[in-house]
Amino acid sequence: MTILEFSFTILSKGFGDIIDITGKIESFLANLNSNYAIVYIYNDSNNVTIRNIEIKELEKKMKDINYKKSLQISNNNMLILPIIDKKLYKSEISRILFIDFEQNVIERKIVIMLQT
């Protein structure tokens, strides 16, 4: 078993800021030599959520205060996705989104670990 790690930082506005991090993750995975692996996408804050979802679907759901509150309290600061045939296994139109509920502007470190 091999584990690779990559990280990057983003500047978040907080207050429900939604940031698409799909491109950065896919660029890390572009040079992958393994056909099959598991990807862990993580941030150490309890005030964030990392989701694999369609942006339009999320924008609609974020207008629902109950859905927004459930995201805030559910502590979903990690997303696990498989790589199958050298491709990140997700819907073609879905994106990996980082949602920050902090109450101020803050720089966030996103850690990606790849287990092959």
Q: pLDDT tens for the chain, 116 residues: list them.
A: 889 999 999 999 988 888 999 999 998 888 878 889 999 999 999 889 898 887 777 777 777 777 777 776 666 899 999 999 888 888 778 899 999 988 999 999 999 999 98
Q: What is the pLDDT of residue 35?
A: 87
Q: What is the pLDDT of residue 72?
A: 65
The domain that holds 94 is classified in CATH as 2.60.120.460
Q: Characterize 97-112 residue by residue with b for buried, 16 or more Cβ atoms within 10 angstroms of its Cβ, and e for exposed.
A: bbbbbbeeebebebeb
| Cβ–Cβ under 8 Å, residues 105 and 50 | no
Domain count, the chain: 1
Nearest to 16 by CA among 109, 107, 105: 105
- In degrees and rounded to multiples of 5, residue 66 shows phi and psi of -70, -40
pTM: 0.85
Quote the domain boundaries for residue 11. 3-115
Q: What is the pLDDT of residue 75?
A: 63
* Residues in CB range of 48: below 8 A, 6 or more apart: 77, 98, 99, 100, 101, 102, 108
Burial of 115 (0-12, 13-18, 19+ CB in 10 A): middle
**Cα–Cα distance measured from residue 102 to residue 116, given in angstroms and rounded to the nearest whole number:** 33
For residue 89, the one-letter residue type is Y
Classify 69 as helix, strand or coil: helix
